Chains A and B, each alone.
Chain A
Amino acid sequence: MINDTLQGRRTVIAIIMSAVIVLYILRLFTIQIIDTRYKEGADSNAFLKKTQFPPRGLIYDRKHTLLVYNKPAYDIALIMREIRGLDTLAFCKALNIDKAEFIQRIEDVKDRRKNPGYSTYTPQLFMSQLSIEDIATIQQSMYKFPGFYIQNRTLREYAYPIGAHVLGSIGEVSQRKIDNDDYYNRGDYAGRDGIEYTYEESLRGEKGVEILLRDAKGRIKGKFENGKKDIAPKAGKNLTLTLDIQLQLLAEELLKGKMGSVVAIEPTTGEILAMVSNPSFNPAILVGRQRSKNYNALLHDPTKPLMNRATQALYPPGSSFKTAEALVCQQMGGINEHTYFQCNGKNSSPIRCTHSHGSPVSLLSAVEESCNPYFWNAFRATIEKDGYGSRNINFRTRYDEWADRMKSFGLGEKFTDSDIYEQSRGYIPTQKYYNKLYRGETGWRAITIRSNAIGQGEVLSTPLQMANLMCAIANEGYYISPHLNRCDSLRKKIHYCKVDKKYFPIVFEAMWRVFDSGTAVASKIPGIDMCGKTGTADNSHGKPHSIFVGFAPRVHPKIAIAVVVENAGFGSMFAAPIFSLLAEQYLTGKIKRPELLERTKNTVTNAYVQER
């Protein structure tokens, strides 16, 4: 043989090969027999952990009237292997879908990227969240479609078609939510806005889990340890709201055909009795299958029905701001109850007066008659009290103090201890803002920012803040952040206003006079002493906003209300009657002025507002 001397190398090569194979057999022995770690890994894969969804918590109003509950909903599932001789056309017809949608859904089920747990042996979700109406047709003919099954689920159902903005809605969770919260999986539902969002964690309850065993074909082989390791779902906690459903219903009705909002709060507790934003919609339309379609329609509606105007819309508070102005100016020593200022009516400068009354005016009449020149003078006297000083330092210090005291009424900031998710912060301009706007600390003076005196200009507030301002006045110097959940913990924190109690009676008196002989005399309720203030907020979108704020009764106020009707005109014309009717309803339990009710209900100020 050739290369005879090298023949021994065959042995070396054989040894190398054998060694590798022996090494691999030893490795197999370790993995398959000695090490139990891998068996556990495989076990966990062969389990099918089936989520049991808990029923969501119910929602009640303050008198324990049921508002939101759960109704059964249905998912259609399919087991691919069991489908036989499907009459696609009849099936689509029964489900009210077209063939293209049917094919798309089947493709989605089969797509392992979208549906990683796909198996032809186990039920796969075909269509979800069908209502009992949707399912009605197909339910009887289900036997014709082998392989398709109906599975139970729950959907939100509403006792009243109102309160969409307060209650909020539920939608499929976003990827971000899934990433941030282990509780959620793809396809889960969670509160998207309103109360459903704020109290998501208590309303959702706790998911349960049913552990099933699967064989290699994906078939369910029964429960693991007879269900001993299963976890039963825990129902969500029920929620009692502070809303008064009767008042809420009335408020929604009164706002029909108008664009605007109403907020009613119980002053001593900060509990929101009614909160309405119009245009609105029936919360039931955002439930189930039609959600995305309706949501899109709402989203693209130019009247913005999805926006909660009561907490998110920003308005110049207009004359209603004069109540706070009167308090802060007294507190800062700019004026006192005996201060009189000249009013030249329409010829006043720099701000003219829109009302006709005697001159000079007292503080009392100025609030009652909503005299613009008076408040300009009062504002000026307040912040110019120490003169301007070098680089306007004295003036700016006074301005800061003024803004700070204003903010102590809950203006210009969000209510951080409230449970209202959608809130705008409003605006009480800061010194910094003006320094920037007018290029420097000496660029602005009292006259530059005169609009602040009468609640126009840069001052902005939400109807919620206006109602809260009324609470603070009704409580004579404190408020509790407005909230929706009727529980003690939210009632604990008292916010004190930076105005002494002694300055309040004159404002009470003036606001009472608004009803007795002032701008709202037409909305007076016989037998009830009410305090209020009209506002007519000029704005760039057309007619002024009609605003009315107030509280009732005068002694021991039980309700504070802010009403804003956008682009309607004078406060006394549109907003005041709504205030009056709401106060009557809440305080007496019924309306004794049917003709006022009818007239107010039927007034249309905005033709574009749709009822949904």
Chain B
Amino acid sequence: MSKNVSIKYALDWTTVAFYVALVLMGWISIYGASYNFDQSSIFDFSQRAGSQFIWIMTAFAIGGMLLLVDSRMYDFFAYFIYAFAIILLIFTIVAPNSIAPDIKGSRSWLVFGPVRFQPAELAKIATALALSKFMSSYNYKLKTWKDLLPLGMFILLPIGLIILQHETGSALVFLAFLLMFYREGMNGIVLLLGTFAIVLFVIVIRFSNIPIQVDRGTLGFIAAMLIILLVQVFYAIFFGRNQKEAIILLLGSVVVAAISYVINIWFRVNYNYISIFSIVASCIYWIFVELLNRYRKYWFLILFSIGSVLFCFSADYLFEKVLQPHQQVRIKVLLNMEDDPTGAGYNVNQSKIAIGSGGFWGKGFLNGTQTKLKYVPEQDTDFIFCTVGEEHGFWGSTLVLALYWLFLMRLLKIAERQRETFNRVFAYCVASIFFFHLTINVGMVLGIMPVIGIPLPFFSYGGSSLWGFTILLFILLRLDASRLERMW
């Protein structure tokens, strides 16, 4: 009994308030998005808003029940839950069609009579728990590259299984844990390298069709090489403190470019090879500098340069062979390489029109012409943010984003006040997952991320995702509440 009383005081009611606010705003948006003129009530259970109401009520109940569970149970059962989730993922792949039906080309749902459930949602929670348990053990510290290996195993296993279910979007969510790894000691260079890889990939793909001169090399590749060269120069200036070397490097590159340009007047020169030559030459130069001055600070730069060049070479291959055709089209549409407003670009284009037409104040609740007349597809699930943008305009969407921001900041605050590593790691997992979903989903709706079908937390229609997010959050709130228990 005393525990129950303590929960009331120890519970972080601010977070609960944010949660309830977001869920209710989502519910109203779903009503607006699926409002099809006939519907009289937001509680009409045959309609989407009505069923979402049931999901919300059950989610509240689940959240309440989770608060009653002893906080030590999560730590204790973490690996069991992880194992169970993995088994469910495998089961979904091998289960007969009657239990795991094929929905829009992916087999990620388990159906038992009226109950439908996506094991990937459980896998998210389970992986967060398992990582928290593993990283909070006494003999573990994330310091060297080797320490990342077991963590990688923990996330790669569910990623692989989910990709086998053709749910690439859900699989990508596990990359969110990198942010938590960073907090727990992973070298920040990993995040930078990841970002740099994305930049290189985008540049190489975006400009791969644009020749710098017919048959003389492509703009994308050469631009990527130039960026690598510039990184070398900046590294030399800011980390190496060697401005002289940086200037020599720059001058050398200019000379190579000038010579190749002159040669090009008489002979056909492929600038792609010239740019690779420049990078290789610069690496040799750095080795020379390293040996001459007995430095050790340029090895990383040399490795980085060679790795980047290899990555640029494989970017085309990755794009053409690893990605599926519809994913290629989505990326091409995002990068403005294909204009296809009735095909793959349709969703994003309509979504931008819907949001753009909202203006500053929006068209008013239930007055959005775009979302009502069904111009925007998936408007109550993945594209729910459109409805907010159209009906409530700039101020409404900004309000929602601001609310998410406050919510995320609150989660970070909660995370940092934990005394136990397990709790802190889990808190960062939760924050990272919410952040990742928000970034991808809103970015997609705004047309700055490729179309990846993952829901907007608390907003998108659907019980499975709402329950998943609620469980994540309320486990965290339960763990957080225990922080005071221990003090007493």
A residues contacting B by CB (< 8 A) are 1-3, 6-7, 9-10, 12-14, 16-18, 20-21, 23-25, 27-29, 31-33, 35, 37-39, 41-43, 45-46, 80-81, 112, 119-121, 214-218
Contacts and interface: CB of A to CB of B under 8 A. Distances in A.
A42 B404 contact: no
B401 A216 contact: no
B53 to A, nearest CB: 22
A45 B369 contact: yes
Interface stretch (B84-92, B176-184, B267-275, B297-305): B176-184
Interface stretch (B159-167, B205-213, B240-248, B353-361): B353-361
A25 B357 contact: no
B443 interface: yes
Nearest to B428: A13
Interface string B201-229: 00000000000000000000000000000
A31 B362 CA distance: 13
A25 B401 contact: yes
19 contacts: A2-B419, A3-B424, A12-B182, A12-B188, A14-B412, A17-B412, A20-B435, A21-B402, A31-B355, A31-B356, A31-B389, A32-B355, A32-B358, A38-B352, A41-B353, A45-B353, A46-B369, A215-B369, A216-B366
B13 to A, nearest CB: 22
A444 B367 CA distance: 84
Interface string B316-343: 0000000000000000000000000000
Given A32-B355, A42-B357, A3 B184 contact: yes
Interface string B401-441: 11011001100100110010100100010010001001100
Given A216-B369, A217-B372, A38 B355 contact: yes
Contacts of A217: 37, 372
Nearest to B409: A14
A218 B353 contact: no
Contacts of B428: 13
B354 to A, nearest CB: 7
A6 B184 contact: yes
B421 A45 contact: no
A557 to B, nearest CB: 61
Q: Sorted from nearest, which 4 A-B pairs have the closest CB atoms?
A: A38-B356, A42-B357, A41-B353, A216-B372
Interface in B439-476: 439, 442-443, 446, 448
Nearest to A48: B373
A121 B354 CA distance: 21
Contacts of A12: 182, 188
A13 B184 contact: no
B119 interface: no
Q: For the complex, would chain A's binding face be called helix, strand, loop or mixed by DSSP majority?
A: helix
A216 B367 contact: yes
B185 interface: yes
B37 A7 contact: no
Contacts of B372: 216-218
Nearest to A9: B183
Interface stretch (B17-25, B42-50, B68-76, B392-400): B392-400
B370 interface: yes
Residue of B188, B370, B419 with most partner-chain A CB within 10 A? B370
A13 B373 contact: no
B37 A121 contact: yes
B386 to A, nearest CB: 11
Given A29-B394, A38-B357, 17 more contacts: A3-B421, A10-B183, A12-B188, A24-B401, A28-B389, A28-B398, A28-B401, A31-B446, A32-B394, A39-B356, A39-B357, A41-B357, A42-B354, A42-B357, A80-B38, A215-B367, A215-B369
A124 to B, nearest CB: 13
Contacts of A28: 355, 389, 394, 397-398, 401, 446
A33 B424 CA distance: 41
B16 to A, nearest CB: 20
B36 interface: yes
Contact of A1 (B358, B419, B446): B419
A25 B394 CA distance: 8
Interface residues of B, number: 54
Nearest to A20: B439
A42 B353 contact: yes
B184 A81 contact: no
A453 to B, nearest CB: 64
A3 to B, nearest CB: 7
Contacts of B415: 10
A1 B366 CA distance: 50
A1 B185 CA distance: 15
Contacts of A38: 352-353, 355-357
Nearest to A47: B369
A81 B353 contact: no
Contacts of A81: 37-38
B360 A33 contact: yes
Nearest to A122: B37
A35 B415 CA distance: 40
Contacts of A6: 183-185
A33 B394 contact: yes
B446 A10 contact: no
Interface string B179-195: 10011110010000000
B375 interface: yes
B26 interface: no
B345 interface: no
Contacts of A25: 398, 401
Contacts of A218: 37, 372-373
A405 B454 CA distance: 77
Contacts of A43: 357
A42 B448 contact: no
A120 B37 contact: yes
A605 to B, nearest CB: 59
B483 interface: no
A32 B416 contact: no
A45 B356 contact: no
A267 to B, nearest CB: 56
B368 interface: yes
A24 B445 CA distance: 10
Nearest to A29: B394
B363 A216 contact: yes
Nearest to B411: A17
A141 to B, nearest CB: 26
A9 B412 CA distance: 11
B29 to A, nearest CB: 14
B57 to A, nearest CB: 28
Contact of B36 (A3, A16, A31, A120): A120
Nearest to B182: A9
B405 A18 contact: yes
B199 to A, nearest CB: 15
Interface in B363-383: 363, 366-370, 372-375
A33 B394 CA distance: 8
- From B368, B405, B416, residue with most partner A Cβ within 10 Å: B405
Contacts of A2: 419, 421
Given A13-B412, A216-B368, A39 B359 contact: yes
A1 B354 CA distance: 48
B349 to A, nearest CB: 8
Nearest to A1: B419
A309 B431 CA distance: 81
B370 A32 contact: no
Given A38-B355, A216-B368, A45 B375 contact: yes
Nearest to B390: A42
Given A10-B412, A18-B405, A42-B370, A37 B185 contact: no
Contacts of B363: 216
